Amino acid sequence: MKNILYIVTTLFSLISTPLFSQQSDFIKEYLERFENSRKYLLLVAETMPEDNYGFKASPESLSFAENLMHIGFAMDWHSQSLLGDREAREWSTDKVYKVADRSKDEMIALIDKTFKESIALIEKFDPDHLNDRLEYFGHDRTKRQIFMLLADHITHHRGQMLVYMRLNGLIPPRYVLYQ
């Protein structure tokens, strides 16, 4: 009986250890990419002249500044509310991430603060919860998928901001330095 228990325990540890390690490696690797995303977005925001923060590619588009603040709102929502347990903000009533009369420097500081708060939450995230499921715009998603959706969302809106820079005759910072 002791031999069977020993064999079962040994097999479980051989199988489970790589699985747990992969999950914590995911968080570690995600944080590295997320920090690079923070640096790159801040550089993009700093490179665009404040006079062009109101630029829109079309009347129905978000402005450069609105894209930046929308990234902040969505980052806060994905990390603090979906991955964490804080009550979600409502986009329609939120005042924290609205452009309003904010200066370029105030918006950049808010985005940096939001990134740092998200990073702090992700550093404490228990990898055992990566497979926890939740509702996301009518779809069943894991928290691992929420991590990926957060990264995709930042990239999507930052891409729009890069196009806005080109439309204003500016050369965006090289992305390759932040991979």
**Beta bridge partner(s), residue 133:** 142
pLDDT tens sequence across 25-58: 999 999 999 999 999 999 999 999 999 999 999 9
**Beta bridge partner(s), residue 134:** 141
What integer is the mean pLDDT of 64-70? 98
pLDDT tens sequence across 116-160: 999 999 999 999 999 999 999 999 999 999 999 999 999 999 999
Domains of the chain (ranges, CATH numbers): 27-178 (1.20.120.450)
User: Measured between alpha carbons, how far is 21 from 159 in angstroms, rounded to an integer?
Assistant: 33
Task: Look at residue 2 in the predicted model and tell me its pLDDT.
Answer: 64
Helices (H), the chain: 2-47, 64-76, 104-124, 143-167
Give yes or no for residue 179 having a pLDDT over 80. Answer: no
CB 35 within 8 A of CB 120: no
SS3 139: strand
Task: Look at residue 15 in the predicted model and tell me its pLDDT.
Answer: 56
